[in-house]
Amino acid sequence: MHVSVIIAAGGRGRRLGAPVPKQLLLVGGRPILQRTVEAFLASERVEQVVVVAPPELVTDPPRYLRVPRVSVVAGGERRQDSVANGFDALPADTEVVLVHDAARPFVDAALIERTIAAAAETGAAIAALPASDTVKHAAAGDDGGAMGRFVERTLPREAIFLAQTPQGFRREVLRAAIALGRAGAEGTDEAALAEKAGHRVRLVEGSRRNIKITTADDLVVAEAIVDRPEENQPGRRPACALRVGSGYDLHRLVEGRPLVLGGVTIPFERGLAGHSDADVLAHAVTDAILGGAALGDIGQHFPDTDPRWKGASSLDLLVRVATLARERGFRVVNVDATVVAERPKLGPYRDAITTRLAEALCLPRDAVSVKAKTNEGVDATGRGEAMAVHAVVLLQQ
């Protein structure tokens, strides 16, 4: 059976007060949307994941959306319009479609499987939880406000279920629901439109962990969920994996160039030769981060044949790589670098260099160490013909 997923990530949901849409906030160091997409990619049943996203994400998708089995399309005005756009982008052979909120990153393989099976069997099925609180039906308030109203009656709790996602449909059922929406019907979820289209919707057992992250408090709960290793789902990486990366670089010392180390220009009669500002220290740290995250090397990302990087500030390139690593869920914990140079003495500049590197990596000063060594007059570095740097970084995933 061919199963595809539409992930509704079109909302701008800035309720959390963050400068980015809520689905791009980090939980346990990884964007919420990335966690959600990867939860579905971990299921072998899922052939295609269609992410319905804000326009800026469609024109420049993050790396985790530029992978096989994932496509990105632009969202619409309302959620139902976004899902309709996603529906239009489904592979032709899709038989069962799951619709899922981007803000529910803790959907697990068993829940996905239950929803697919029930949707295939009955045509429409949604994950839902029985109400655990007593449910009150309130009379309409005078001012329309939510509070200060009176209870009209108490609903029988056994009959109350709270809808989650995924919501699963045979393709023709979702098509009918969407057609109703396009004809003017409104629904806060796809099941509501399917009900209006005359289909019976079956309930499958949801999951208490499958929370929708909409408030700052939800973010706290989400962090607690990823911090519990026993709660990690099969197919996901451990929440607190550590990775180490090493970097090495060497540049020749020549006349007529400035000497830039860690973004700090150091007065000296010679400087480092190179296509960019030849900041050998920034290059080694950049390569260490790329190495730890297994994202290639500096030459791949900033080739010296590309005129964009001619004369570039290597500290800017370091910031770019740290951002890239962060998007992939890696946080730099600390940096330790050793500069091998016969001259000049770096002691007077060490504080400034450490500060610049720490700022570039959003790290506290005491998480960055820069040491200096001479090479005892041996080899090219010892003769003062070149400067080399060894660096290691620790990354947390």
Per-residue x/- track, 48-87, Mg ion (CB under 5 A): ----------------------------------------
Q: Could you give the CA distance from residue 179 to residue 35 in angstroms, rounded to a whole number?
A: 31
Tell me the window of 35-43, 99-107, 158-166, 281-289 that interacts with Mg ion (CB under 5 A). Answer: 281-289
Q: Could you give the CA distance from residue 170 to residue 97 in angstroms, rounded to a whole number?
A: 6
- One-letter amino acid at 190 equals E
What's the closest the beta carbon of residue 166 comes to Mg ion, in angstroms? 48
CB closest to Mg ion, residue no: 283
249 binds Mg ion (CB under 5 A): yes
What's the closest the beta carbon of residue 386 comes to Mg ion, in angstroms? 11
26-27/30-31 β-pairing: antiparallel
326 binds Mg ion (CB under 5 A): no
Tell me the window of 109-117, 249-257, 325-333, 368-376 that interacts with Mg ion (CB under 5 A). Answer: 249-257
Residue with smaller CB distance to Mg ion, 94 or 286 = 286
Residue with smaller CB distance to Mg ion, 35 or 283 = 283
What's the closest the beta carbon of residue 290 comes to Mg ion, in angstroms? 13
Residue with smaller CB distance to Mg ion, 190 or 249 = 249
What's the closest the beta carbon of residue 249 comes to Mg ion, in angstroms? 4
283 binds Mg ion (CB under 5 A): yes
Number of C-beta neighbours around residue 396 at 10 A: 16
Q: Could you give the CA distance from residue 207 to residue 191 in angstroms, rounded to a whole number?
A: 18
Using DSSP, state whether 356 is helix, strand or coil. Answer: helix
390 binds Mg ion (CB under 5 A): no
The distance between the two most distant Cα atoms of the chain, rounded to a whole number of Å, is: 89
Q: Could you give the CA distance from residue 63 to residue 86 in angstroms, rounded to a whole number?
A: 20
Residue with smaller CB distance to Mg ion, 79 or 283 = 283
Residue with smaller CB distance to Mg ion, 191 or 386 = 386
DSSP assignment letter at 17: -
Residues 6 or more apart in contact with residue 287 via CB below 8 angstroms: 245, 246, 247, 248, 249, 297, 298, 391
What's the closest the beta carbon of residue 297 comes to Mg ion, in angstroms? 10
Residue with smaller CB distance to Mg ion, 108 or 249 = 249
Residues 6 or more apart in contact with residue 314 via CB below 8 angstroms: 260, 263, 276, 277, 278, 279, 282, 283, 286
Residue 239's Cβ-side half-sphere holds a number of Cα atoms within 13 Å equal to 16
Q: Could you give the CA distance from residue 82 to residue 77 in angstroms, rounded to a whole number?
A: 7
Residue with smaller CB distance to Mg ion, 283 or 356 = 283
What's the closest the beta carbon of residue 251 comes to Mg ion, in angstroms? 6
Q: Could you give the CA distance from residue 97 to residue 50 in angstroms, rounded to a whole number?
A: 10
Tell me the window of 86-94, 204-212, 282-290, 374-382 that interacts with Mg ion (CB under 5 A). Answer: 282-290
List interacting residues with Mg ion (CB under 5 A).
249, 283
